[in-house]
Amino acid sequence: MIERYTLPEMGALWTEEAKFRAWLKVELAVCRARARLGEIPSEEVEELAEKADFTVERIKEVEEETNHDVIAFVTAVSETLAAKGAARVARHFHFGLTSSDVLDTAGALQLREALRLVRGEARALAILLCDMSMNHRGTVMVGRTHGVHAEPTTLGHKLAVWAFEMERNLERLAHAEEVAAAGKISGAVGTYANVDPKVETLTCEELGLKPAPASTQIVQRDRHAEVLSTLAILGSTLEKIALEVRGAQRTEVRELAEPFGRGQKGSSAMPHKKNPILAERLSGMARLLRGYAGVGFEDNALWQERDISHSSAERVVLPDSTTLAHYMLRITRRILEGLRVDEARMRENLNSGGGIVYSGRVLLSLVEAGMGRDEAYAVVQGAAMRAWEGEGGFRELLEEDEEVREKLGGDLDGLFDPSYALRNLEVVFERVEDLKRRLEGD
């Protein structure tokens, strides 16, 4: 992932140095496991652990010749051991292993830590959404379906919907982390031909991983497909939030706006512009996450016990997807923390057309007053269509209808008050409060 979209803590997990350190951690854990089983002397393993080291530069030099990164890594470590007078213990290093024993087990360590970072950001966003939902529980605005005014709602209710979706994302992320945290030390085709299965058990135990119950040369890639799918779903949630901000920031709506900093410029040609660039960035990034999920599906089906068609793709999609998701979560928080809410404009939009959004309430009131539903619908729809065409305000047109006045007593004040839409929403906000307590208790 390019530096522009990489936060430091996530970037540090996916450097070449970090990758090779994870490989070394796995190799040494294998040696310690073999020592515990009495296969090799413990004192030699201690010396190996003390003196084993490498430089990324040397690994790259050897790889130029060998065209094999794991062989280059083992060679570089062995050279370091020899230089430190420990050549005799180098024979224990990478003994009985295949490259993927190291790659996949170390990769699980990196992916687990990356997902933990993502989950931490997701939890912070979920808590923020809970707080904002409670703060805006009474911020009345028009609800829209198909992009068209529907009935009154509140901004707090929208935020509550997102908060509970983020809770589901957190559950998926926790499961993805568990699924990803699988190692294998089972040899060339997973048959333990040259390594005791107990070595795998002890190695994974030290590393905090679960041994794959059965593997080929690799850990099976349905695990990685699940991780990438989870991140893609998370991305779609963040895009949902971004899309709401983008739509509400349009000139003719102007109910919400993402933060616009001092000195910021929206357009090189049009000085008046304030564009939702952060929200649009999130929408573009969500497309990438969905694309990466597709790669995960493709990587699961490999030839027999393994080919390496997945390898090149994973070098890109696993670091990039976690890096992007982490960045997107941080940007979403930035948007929401600086979100500009225009309550006056929300009220203005709610009342546009003279209260058309109250048509459903008027319909039900007419039916309750004894008018047939089809007749009541025709009366209300007729007034609404005339209001849409600019022939007058919806309420005024209804008040001009003699039959409506007769049925409703001529007083429509109670029908054109948005508070009716809020009276039962308290149950949602009680659930939000409970969600926040659960999140803060994790």
Q: Residues, the chain, total? A: 442
Give the H or E element holding residue 151. strand 148-154
Given the residues 146, 268, 272, 312, select the one marked as catalytic.
Answer: 146
Between strands 340-341 and 256-257, the pairing is antiparallel
Torsion of CA 246, 252, 257, 258, to 10 degrees: 40
SS3 183: strand
Which residue has tokens 């706006």?
A: 257
> Which residues sit opposite 257 in a β-bridge?
340
Which residue has tokens 């000195």?
A: 263
Give 5's DSSP letter: G
Spacing of C-alpha 328 from chain mean position: 8
Please compute, for residue 440, the number of CA atoms within 13 A of its CA located in the half-sphere on the CB side. Answer: 11
- In single-letter form, the type of residue at position 217 comes to Q
| Residue among 311, 364, 360, 355 at smallest CA distance from 104 | 311
133 noted as active-site residue: no
| Contact present, 358 and 408 (Cβ < 8 Å) | no
100 noted as active-site residue: no
Q: CB count, 10 Å around CB of 166?
A: 27
E-only strand ranges, 179-304: 182-183, 210-211, 256-257
Give me the phi and psi of 143, to 5 degrees please.
Answer: -90, 145
Given the residues 42, 68, 175, 267, select the one marked as catalytic.
Answer: 267
Give the active site residues: 146, 267
